[in-house]
Structure 1
Amino acid sequence: MRSASQPSAEQVRKTGGLRERKKARTKAAIQQHAIRLFREQGYAATTVEQIAEAAEVSASTVFRYFPTKEELVTTDLVDPMIFAAFRVQPPELSLVEAWRRALIESFHELTESQLDTERGRGLLTLSVRELWAASLTNITAGLDTMTALSAERVGREPTDAEVRNAVGALFGVLLIAVLDWYKHQEGDFVAHINAALDQLESGIML
């Protein structure tokens, strides 16, 4: 029998959930300050100590969330949101439509400052050579996750050629849309994604 001083399972769950949300907010805040300082001062000129001061945490806390300086830029905090949203899309949706809805739902949850941080990450990745090299691992991991989730959804293996080709086409369309957004930030990004996916789903007629 549980004593009055022992927390219930529900209390443990809520406490754990609150703790994880607090960690997520701290991690996002550190990255947001890092991206802002990198853009203002330059990547090489900005120190982890300056980032810690701006985020009002210790340098050791920064390194606990981001073990290397490069990871302050290359760590993608939005992809996990998109993958989670994809997992709960209705089964009757096509593969492209499921990814479309997951993307739109996730981007609609982002604030303007979060969107600015995402675009800043992209611009830094494109302009700083070592960041581009470091980001390739994350890009590959994202593609692998998309392939695995897509294969699971359609009941096939990730090695299936049709699955890999479909995800490759989808990934390529999304990558071009994101790169355009990084460079130009013109128009509505979600509308741009919608138009690109419409063309992919209807077929490339060139």
Structure 2
Amino acid sequence: MYQVVEEQTSLRERRRAETRRTLQAHAIRLFMARGYDATTINDVAQAAGMSVMTLYRHFATKEDLVLYDEYDRETAAALAAQRQDEPLRRRIAQALVRTATTAVESDRDLLLARLRLMISTPALQARHLDSQYATEIAIVGTLCAGATDSDLEFRVRSTAAACLAATHVALLRWAEDDGLPDLPTLMRQALTSAFDTAF
């Protein structure tokens, strides 16, 4: 009985993920072709062959069509799988680089288009900072779960913010250079510059 419920839940989640991917792909294509402000939610739903209500079930706002991803979950999983004895900056940096590597390998063009939209669209710039803060929270939640050290959260939050700032610079450079450089290498270079130690 439990296995059937788990399989049904898993199937539902896969279908939801596929619907989100379809909607996001159509949205990004339209935003790039027509402009973010000139493209409506109705345009996106129509291009995807879905209702506006379906779109809103998956994306609460127009901005989410660009900003939504699963990278925080992937970063948290990468952190959880690491050795505990590595320095914080190395653990966080390695998790962020691993997530970026996976993102480039799975859909480089979509990632590049999303970044270009985030950089060039005023309505997305502030929300992008919110997204970066959410990543910081995911890192803190993973590394501080069950911790008794009262100063740990402060250290993790500070280190995560520094790592995210460095990798953000690398992402901007990658987008400005049309995605031609190797993104993980750029991120390691930025992290090395920020911390004055090789990554």
- Shorter-chain TM band: 0.7 to 0.9
Q: Deviations over 1:53-86 (max 9, x none)?
A: 3323222111111122122123233222222222
Report the alpha carbon displacement of residue 165 of structure 1 after superposing the two structures with TM. 2.9
1:191 equivalent among 181, 185, 193: 185
Retained in 1: the 8 A contact 2:75–2:139? no
Aligned counterparts of 2:147 and 2:173: Cα–Cα separation in 1: 30
Task: Give the total of aligned pairs.
Answer: 197
Retained in 2: the 8 A contact 1:35–1:73? yes
Aligned equivalent of 2:88: 95
Aligned counterparts of 2:147 and 2:91: Cα–Cα separation in 1: 11
Aligned equivalent of 2:110: 117
Range 11-20 or range 88-97, more displaced: 88-97
Aligned counterparts of 1:29 and 1:88: Cα–Cα separation in 2: 30
Matching of residue 36 in structure 1 with residue 34 in structure 2 = no
**What is the TM-score with the length of structure 2 in the denominator?**
0.82
RMSD: 2.7
Retained in 2: the 8 A contact 1:126–1:132? yes
Aligned equivalent of 2:170: 177
**Aligned-partner SS, 2:180:** coil
Matching of residue 138 in structure 1 with residue 125 in structure 2 = no
Q: Which structure has the larger Rg?
A: 1
Q: Which stretches in structure 2 are left out of the alignment for 5+ residues?
A: none
Aligned counterparts of 2:14 and 2:22: Cα–Cα separation in 1: 12
Retained in 2: the 8 A contact 1:147–1:158? no
Q: Which stretches in structure 1 are left out of the alignment for 5+ residues?
A: 1-7
Report the alpha carbon displacement of residue 17 of structure 1 after superposing the two structures with TM. 1.3
Retained in 1: the 8 A contact 2:31–2:39? yes
Percent identity reads 29
**What is the TM-score with the length of structure 1 in the denominator?**
0.80
Alignment map for 1:63-102 (pairs within 5 Å): 63-102=56-95
Retained in 2: the 8 A contact 1:148–1:158? no
Q: Deviations over 1:138-166 (max 9, x none)?
A: 22222232233334498644775433332
Aligned equivalent of 1:150: 143
Letter in 1 for 2:118: T
Letter in 2 for 1:115: R
